[in-house]
Structure 1
Amino acid sequence: MIVTHALTKRFGGLTAVDSVNLSVAEGERYGFLGPNGSGKTTLVRMLLGLVYATSGEIEILGRTVPRHLSDALPEVGALVEGPAAYNHLSGPRNLELLDASGRGGRRTRRARVEEALEQVGLAGIDRRPVKAYSLGMRQRLGLAAALLRKPRLLILDEPTNGLDPQGIKEIRELLIGLNREGTTVFLSSHLLFEVEQLCTHVGVVDRGKLVLQDELGAMRSPTGRVIVQTPDASAAVLLLDGQLERRDGDRLLIRHPDPARLNTWLVESGVRVAAIEPEFRSLEQVVLDATSSGADRFDGSKP
């Protein structure tokens, strides 16, 4: 769905994107992560032909970008750097104008607009102008615009920006549902927890370079520690002899390579085990290990 080869973008002496080889397969929910100023938005804009690459190659849905971008765009929905709209018009009117520029028929235009608005939680919106919308409402409208043409591929830059926790949850469920129906989702975000909840694959960019790209489950490898919940926590602590790393009530974090063996040993020692599972690295740990200090720091710590 998205492939880049040695994709590079320079602005004068600044290399914003540096030889990136991106690979997003059909059916994935791909999270694109990195510190501020790491090149995420520049890369997204190159995918959509909004910025031309200095060198390298881009393919979207098998078409070369920017040469054959017009062939791919009808099957791509996008939201980049916040939603664009005519502020003096209502949200529905904005979507009607956008739909008129596409290939859909006039007779079914209202139905398409209403469906898109319902998908993003704006089904009951009135005819107030967009300039009266909150940031969250504008973001929902931008998502509705991206969904108008039932795209095979969604490219989204910070799609939950400005939304409250309930709104973020709704958009997450919407994107998962669309993905299950066949839409591939590529999104950049700084919300690590949200990407961890939503995405199947992750790419991490730092100072313009793609430093990590893999399935999320493969990235979140075991830490070599085990989480145990037991009503006999005090007894377990006495048995562990230095293996305990942290205790939070009846929840213990234990340094041990094999949860099954640890479970057997505890039970044979008379300790009741209510739950036991290996600890996995969080996405935050993965990203912090893969990246240097924030790209937008200017306090002398940047190498």
Structure 2
Amino acid sequence: MTAVDGVSLDVREGDRYGLLGPNGSGKTTLVRLLLALAYATSGSISVFGKPVPRRAHEVLPLIGAMVEAPAAYPHLSGRSNLMLFDAAGPGSSRRTRKVRVGEVLERVGLGGIDRRPVKAYSLGMRQRLGLAAALLRSPRMLILDEPTNGLDPRGIREIRDLLTELNEAGTTVFLSSHLLGEVELLCTRVGVMDRGRLVLQDSLDALRAPTGLVAVSTPSPDSVRSLLDGQVVSSDDSSVLVRHDDPAELNALLVSKDVRVTSLGVVTRSLEDVVLEATSASSDRIDK
């Protein structure tokens, strides 16, 4: 069985790239290929212009990663885990280790961490610890698989803000997720996988292009329907959906005819619509 088939992934320096797709679509396998944790049977992978896995020893020190469940020794504290993780890495400085561990714990919201073993952590705390490990060596690129799994809404927003801040400082962010809303709020470019193939890849703005429809809120929907007969797609007691290419021109027309407009806005496609159209009709449901 082929897990990833003919994917041509284009992640550019400085991107906030979100990889989306249903469960089992191949997202995690693709992330593992990028990190030389799995090996492709054909094709090529290049990260920072260098082939992986052949030159992975040059590439991986530049990457901070969190794949699937964050790894840790459950009987040790989070701080001890990070100290060991740093000591095992190439070019680690013992002199600055304690300071750097403290800094990354502060950044991910674990600055007040105590000596509890990791086995006593909540899922959200484990996620934060995994992200701290990924940030420990100031990576040029972050590769994250479901980074907000287990976090509450406030925690999700904190991690989103942190990733945006890191990206604005020059770190390329690549994340795999099934949370469409989070990707829509964070990412600038998106790829969509389905059954092992990359079925869509573009900037978020391009994917959410205008639909050619304008939503008009008005206390006089009958007047709008009468004036724009043939262009009205749907309406109710307070709004009308109109097929029109220029919202400013439409607003001017309505105002010139003494139609009161409360608000008017271009209708764009949601990321959810884009993904559902691009992927097959499969889910985790088990019907009779």
Q: TM-score, normalised by structure 2?
A: 0.93
Q: Secondary structure at the match of 1:254?
A: strand
What is residue 4 of structure 1 aligned with on the other side? none
Alignment of 1:4-83 (within 5 A): 14-83=1-70
8 Å contact from structure 2 (residues 221, 235) kept in 1: no
Query: Is the alpha carbon distance of 1:38 and 1:295 closer, same or farther for their aligned partners in structure 2, counting shifts above 3 Å?
Result: farther
| Alignment match of 2:248 (pick from 243, 257, 260) | 260
| Alignment match of 1:279 (pick from 251, 267, 273) | 267
Shift of residue 229, structure 1, vs aligned partner: 3.4
Deviation larger for 225-234 or 112-121: 225-234
Shift of residue 100, structure 1, vs aligned partner: 0.9
| Alignment match of 2:147 (pick from 159, 164, 169) | 159
Q: Secondary structure at the match of 1:87?
A: coil
| Alignment match of 1:180 (pick from 148, 164, 168) | 168
Structure 2 residue runs without a partner (length 5+): none
Which deviations, in whole Å up to 9, do the C-alpha atoms of 1:30-63 show, x marking residues without a partner?
0001111111111110110111111110011122
| Alignment match of 1:221 (pick from 209, 216, 223) | 209
Provide the C-alpha distance between the structure 2 equivalents of 1:171 and 1:294, rounded to a whole number of angstroms: 30
Provide the C-alpha distance between the structure 1 equivalents of 2:235 and 2:97, rounded to a whole number of angstroms: 59
Provide the C-alpha distance between the structure 2 equivalents of 1:228 and 1:113, rounded to a whole number of angstroms: 53
Which deviations, in whole Å up to 9, do the C-alpha atoms of 1:262-298 show, x marking residues without a partner?
1111111112334322110000111111111226567
Higher normalized strand content (fraction of residues): 1
Provide the C-alpha distance between the structure 1 equivalents of 2:115 and 2:79, rounded to a whole number of angstroms: 7
User: What amino acid does structure 1 have at the position aligned with 2:71?
Assistant: A
Shift of residue 99, structure 1, vs aligned partner: 1.0
Shift of residue 231, structure 1, vs aligned partner: 5.2
Q: Secondary structure at the match of 1:228?
A: strand
What is residue 5 of structure 1 aligned with on the other side? none
Which deviations, in whole Å up to 9, do the C-alpha atoms of 1:68-117 show, x marking residues without a partner?
10111111000001100000011111111111122231121111111111
1:136 aligns with 2:109: no
User: What amino acid does structure 2 have at the position aligned with 1:161?
Assistant: N
Query: Is the alpha carbon distance of 1:256 and 1:93 closer, same or farther for their aligned partners in structure 2, counting shifts above 3 Å?
Result: same
Alignment of 1:102-113 (within 5 A): 102=89, 103-113=91-101
What is residue 77 of structure 2 aligned with on the other side? 90
| Alignment match of 1:119 (pick from 101, 104, 107) | 107
Provide the C-alpha distance between the structure 2 equivalents of 1:229 and 1:104, rounded to a whole number of angstroms: 60
8 Å contact from structure 1 (residues 36, 294) kept in 2: no
Provide the C-alpha distance between the structure 1 equivalents of 2:260 and 2:82, rounded to a whole number of angstroms: 60
C-alpha RMSD of matched pairs (Å): 1.9
User: What amino acid does structure 1 have at the position aligned with 2:53?
Assistant: P
Query: Is the alpha carbon distance of 1:253 and 1:119 closer, same or farther for their aligned partners in structure 2, counting shifts above 3 Å?
Result: farther
Shift of residue 237, structure 1, vs aligned partner: 5.1
Provide the C-alpha distance between the structure 2 equivalents of 1:250 and 1:167, rounded to a whole number of angstroms: 37
Q: Secondary structure at the match of 1:263?
A: helix
Q: Secondary structure at the match of 2:166?
A: helix
Which deviations, in whole Å up to 9, do the C-alpha atoms of 1:107-160 show, x marking residues without a partner?
211111111111111111111110110000100100010000010000000001
Provide the C-alpha distance between the structure 1 equivalents of 2:80 and 2:221, rounded to a whole number of angstroms: 62
User: What amino acid does structure 2 have at the position aligned with 1:113?
Assistant: V
